[in-house]
Amino acid sequence: MSQAPRHDLFDAVGQTPLVRLATLSRSIGREVLAKAEYLNPGGSVKDRAAKFIIEEAERDGRLRPGGTIVESSAGNTGIALAMLAASRGYKTIIVLPGDQSPEKIELLRLFGADVRFAPDVPFADERHFYHEGVRIARETPGAIYADQFNNLANFRSHLATTGPEIWEQCGGTIDAFVCACGTGGTLAGISTALKERKPDVRVVLADPFGSSLLSYVRDGTLDASGDSLVEGIGIKRITENFKRARCDDAVRVDDRSAVEMARYLLRSEGLFVGGSAALNVVAAARVAMSMPAGSTIVTLLCDGGARYVSRLFDAAWLAAHDLTPKADALEFL
């Protein structure tokens, strides 16, 4: 059946497919389904939060014609904001930490964003990219600060769209949802939506090394150890969005497992996805194997692999970081 044209680019955000990971599901005897968020217009799950942030700011009168949107971003939210802002004539200033992939930086510039960089310093340091974004927004006439970390439009976007979409696409057959966090809005919104419909659905946070969220979920502390090269996820503080997440447990995933899964998904499932998506699938598979055979586990494919070709899929970069894939089949699980 044909579908009517979307009203505009904003209207095209969401309603992404839920894809069964057929090879992986057969291998582990559980159904692993992945929401293909990289098929959003801006290429990532962050399109949803960006849409709600802009629309709420317009309704509140804070964002006016010709205005400027400032955001501190690891890339994908900045890209989503720049794309949607371009479609409505807004300007964007995106402040990045200095360790993001060149592909994301170039894409931001192609959308017309004013890209600025902040040093890689702890959050308490005023030079941190979050604080730098707040300062720039305050000093720029006609600007708003999007604040994906604490702006609850982020949470509301997933409560209203992503969570209900997953529920409907599963036909209510879901035993667990597994997802990593950057701002916390995605996990918070989806977990709330799912638990409102099925209180005993298991929600598990997937956390990289260097993040404090696993220890917070498990024992209420903000302990962290190690580090991770996976972009856009993991954090050492509790945001307003994450406070609304309804987690039952958390699992840790190392970079090597994420790299191995990225290669597995490309070669065995035909899916070209980024590091956070691969990490999500590792965590989903491990959670699945701890559950009864035949269980259904859902996760997210946050963005596509094209934004990480020079890193995650580059042999020299992987070798330099001792991440050259080594495992056969699913041994890394």
* Active site residue ranges: 46
For residues 34 and 299, the answer to whether their CB atoms sit within 8 Å is: yes
CA distance 127 to 139: 15
HEC sequence for the chain: CCCCCCCCCHHHCCCCCEEECHHHHHHHCCEEEEEEHHHCCCCECHHHHHHHHHHHHHHHCCCCCCCEEEEECCCHHHHHHHHHHHHHCCEEEEEEECCCCHHHHHHHHHCCCEEEEECCCCCCCCCCHHHHHHHHHHHCCCEEECCCCCCCHHHHHHHHHHHHHHHHHHCCCCCEEEEECCCCHHHHHHHHHHHHHCCCCEEEEEEECCCCHHHHHHHCCCCCCCCCCCCCCCCCCCCCCHHHCCCCEEEEECHHHHHHHHHHHHHHHCCCECHHHHHHHHHHHHHHHCCCCCCEEEEEECEEHHHHCCCCCCHHHHHHCCCCCCCCCCCCC
Q: Which residue reads 């409907």 in tokens? A: 168
Paired tokens of 2: 């044909």
**Paired strand residues for 303:** 44
| Count of Cβ atoms closer than 10 Å to residue 75 Cβ | 25
